[in-house]
Structure 1
């Protein structure tokens, strides 16, 4: 199942909001994130006696996958961030970073199945 085409490409849907489903979606559609996802899981969650960090972990990786599943959108965000790093005008650099942040936050609001 995929969401509607965006920019000539089909964007895969968001998975169920569980670590296992998210990991499977990352492995299938954004494997470039998998090593960092697994490393973060092992470091902060796998051996934890307290599940308090799980919501923060899920929020971070939900947003990362939501962006990575759409290569065009991900490229736009990275382009804004790269251009901001090279921009000598503070106001313009700030505006670029704010735009990138808005795109990231909007992507992270995707619900399962969207």
Structure 2
């Protein structure tokens, strides 16, 4: 993981997960650049930190997306909840990664 800053994260996304770059840039403009709301920067960084952490591990990213898709398609609320809880645990784990990990 890069240094925990928006410029470092943007550079890492551009270099290692370019498929995320257009969404990252659009979200940056929508949440911060166009609104001048720098108070939104911590939430922006947290969201994209986790997105990048997943994207650098395609197998884990696919697994999380599969869990979320299966939950959305499930007719069983308990099964859907369990699938979403597993996905949330993974999101939480990767969001806690530090620079260099």
TM-score bracket for the superposition, by shorter chain length: over 0.9
Is the CA contact (8 Å cut-off) linking 2:4 and 2:99 kept in structure 1?
yes
Equivalent position to 2:30, from 43, 48, 72: 43
Selected match of 2:40 from 26, 39, 53: 53
Q: Deviation of residue 29 (structure 1)?
A: 1.2
Number of aligned positions between the proteins: 101
Q: Is the 8 A contact 2:31 2:37 kept in 1?
A: no
Match of 2:98, SS state, is: coil
TM-score by length of 2: 0.92
Higher helix share: 2
Q: Which residue of 1 aligns with 2:9?
A: 22
Matched position secondary structure for 2:75 = coil
Structure ID, larger Rg: 1
Q: Match for 1:70 among 54, 57, 79?
A: 57
Query: Which shows bigger deviation, 20-29 or 44-53?
Result: 44-53
1:87 is matched with which residue?
Answer: 74
Q: CA deviation at 1:44?
A: 2.0
Q: Flag structure 1 segments of 5+ consecutive residues without an equivalent.
A: 1-13
Give yes or no for the alignment of 1:113 onto 2:90.
no
- The 8 Å contact of residues 87 and 93 in structure 1, kept in 2 or not, is answered as yes
